[in-house]
A = this chain, B = another copy of it.
Amino acid sequence: MLDGECNPDRPPLPRDAGTHRATSVDFPVCVVLPAGGTGERTGLQTPKQFWSFLERPLISYTIDAFERVSWIQDVVVVVAKENLDQMSGIVQRFGHRKVRVVTGGSTRHRSIYNGVQALAEDRPEVVIIHDAVRPFVEEDFLSKITLAAKEHGAAGAIRPLVSTVIATTSEGFLDHSLERAKYRASETPQGFTYEVISQAYQRSSESDLEFGTECLHLALQHCHINAKLIPGPPTLWKVTYRWDLAAAGSIIKEPMLQSACVVSGDSVHAATLITALQKALHMKLHVVTDLSAEKHTFLLKEWNYIQVSVDVCCRSDIEALVTQLEVEKRVLQYPLVIIWLCLNTSNGKSCSTTEGKKPAITDLASSLEHKKILLYGIQLPTPQDSDCWETSVLKVSDLISVLVKERSPALVGQLLQA
């Protein structure tokens, strides 16, 4: 018997409570991501793991959550045969580096088993099993699950029950209700030593593989491992229904609404405007004059840029910003927003219109769209009287908020009036 192999006929060894607990993961870990679902429950034709948000499928967000974790080696994505090409396309388009795509079976357990078998040569210390439709898992929690799996053989995320669970009679009447406090919902991620999960599946019956859904149960039944249960954050919730996709979208967008980097130039008028916006906006504005000097603070991290121009055309400034973003490989992954804020202090011709009818921003915007850069314009009238100016500032603030929040491709290239 291999070292660490579990024996179904023998209960696990008692563990010494005094043993040293590792606090960081320093051993090989791989992930199996079953994504064979057909999306029946969402009522959509596309299975929900392939549903797109900000032009990126949900499963790519989930993969990203694992690729960001340095100590995770491989992510085995298990998809239905008919989705193999689509999945390979996603891996290529979004530059996923740790992914292997394998074909699934007819049930959840058969698909996971295929994924585990694909790791036979790697034999990682721990295998994490997660759902493709839970994209918000974070490193901190993955590390808890992984360390507990290494220590106890198996570990799984739990959440409190949202509803009372009741047992029904065969005639459809209430039999009894469970005491909510004694039970938990079992969620993913779950972690297993490679030995435990592979043995659990090898010892599973056809009936287990056909009708079961719970990996922790297989580990208990076939390897006598009582998994360690770890309370997970509410964001572990699974995208199940059509409207959950809107909820997932709002979580994906959340980090994109926190702040914007303002490239201000050195005009006094711009400074006044920015000060007013800092008060009106519910997002943090980081003001810089030269973005390239602030590369690591903003160019690598910021989702939103506001380029202010006063009485001049700043097309070349925006082009320069785009070049910098391209150099730093910030484009193509998530849509970045650039807002071109045109402030006219004179009564002269606006910087934002060319001789034709379309404003200059329209052409520039359409050339940037395929780079996943969403360019919008906002034009402010001359600040003649202060009442009108205050209204305009509030309007600019509302417009910035909505553009940053919606990130709508349809509005790209519009020159909005404040």
Interface residue A381 (Cβ < 8 Å from any Cβ of B): yes
Known: A165-B184, A166-B158. A410 touches B399 (CB 8 A): yes
Known: A357-B381, A408-B406. A246 touches B240 (CB 8 A): no
Q: How many angstroms from the CA of A242 to the CA of B249 in the assembled complex? A: 12
Q: Chain B residues near A132 (CB, 8 Å)?
A: none
Contact with B along A171-196 (1 / 0, CB 8 A): 01111111010111111000000000
Known: A168-B229, A174-B220. A238 touches B162 (CB 8 A): yes
Q: Chain B residues near A399 (CB, 8 Å)?
A: 410-411
Chain B residue at minimal CB-CB distance from A162 = B240
Verify A163–B186 contact, CB threshold 8 A.
yes
Verify A216–B174 contact, CB threshold 8 A.
yes
Copies of this protein in the assembly total: 2
Q: How many angstroms from the CA of A102 to the CA of B406 in the assembled complex? A: 39
Verify A216–B177 contact, CB threshold 8 A.
yes
Verify B163–A183 contact, CB threshold 8 A.
no
Verify A156–B174 contact, CB threshold 8 A.
yes
Known: A408-B402, A410-B399. A173 touches B357 (CB 8 A): no
Verify B158–A185 contact, CB threshold 8 A.
no
Q: Shortest CB–CB separation between residue A362 and chain B, in angstroms? A: 7
Interface size on A, residues (CB 8 A): 74
Verify B186–A177 contact, CB threshold 8 A.
yes
Q: Shortest CB–CB separation between residue A334 and chain B, in angstroms? A: 18
Q: How many angstroms from the CA of A152 to the CA of B246 in the assembled complex? A: 39
- Of A172, A173, A243, most buried by chain B (CB within 10 Å of CB) is A243
SS class of chain A's interface: helix, strand, loop or mixed?
A: mixed
Q: Shortest CB–CB separation between residue A161 and chain B, in angstroms? A: 7
Verify A411–B417 contact, CB threshold 8 A.
no
Verify A173–B226 contact, CB threshold 8 A.
yes
Interface residue A237 (Cβ < 8 Å from any Cβ of B): yes
The 9 lowest CB-CB distance pairs between A and B, nearest first, are: A246-B250, A243-B247, A398-B410, A163-B185, A402-B410, A247-B247, A173-B226, A164-B186, A174-B227
Interface residue A244 (Cβ < 8 Å from any Cβ of B): yes
Interface residue A93 (Cβ < 8 Å from any Cβ of B): no
Verify B410–A229 contact, CB threshold 8 A.
no
Q: Chain B residues near A413 (CB, 8 Å)?
A: 417
Interface residue A141 (Cβ < 8 Å from any Cβ of B): no
Interface residue A241 (Cβ < 8 Å from any Cβ of B): yes
Known: A174-B227, A226-B173, A246-B246. A158 touches B168 (CB 8 A): yes
Q: Shortest CB–CB separation between residue A78 and chain B, in angstroms? A: 19
Chain B residue at minimal CB-CB distance from A157 = B163
Q: Chain B residues near A220 (CB, 8 Å)?
A: 174, 176-177
Verify B226–A169 contact, CB threshold 8 A.
yes
Q: Chain B residues near A186 (CB, 8 Å)?
A: 163-166, 177
Q: Shortest CB–CB separation between residue A244 and chain B, in angstroms? A: 6
Q: How many angstroms from the CA of A247 to the CA of B250 in the assembled complex? A: 9
Known: A250-B243, A362-B417, A399-B410. A185 touches B173 (CB 8 A): no
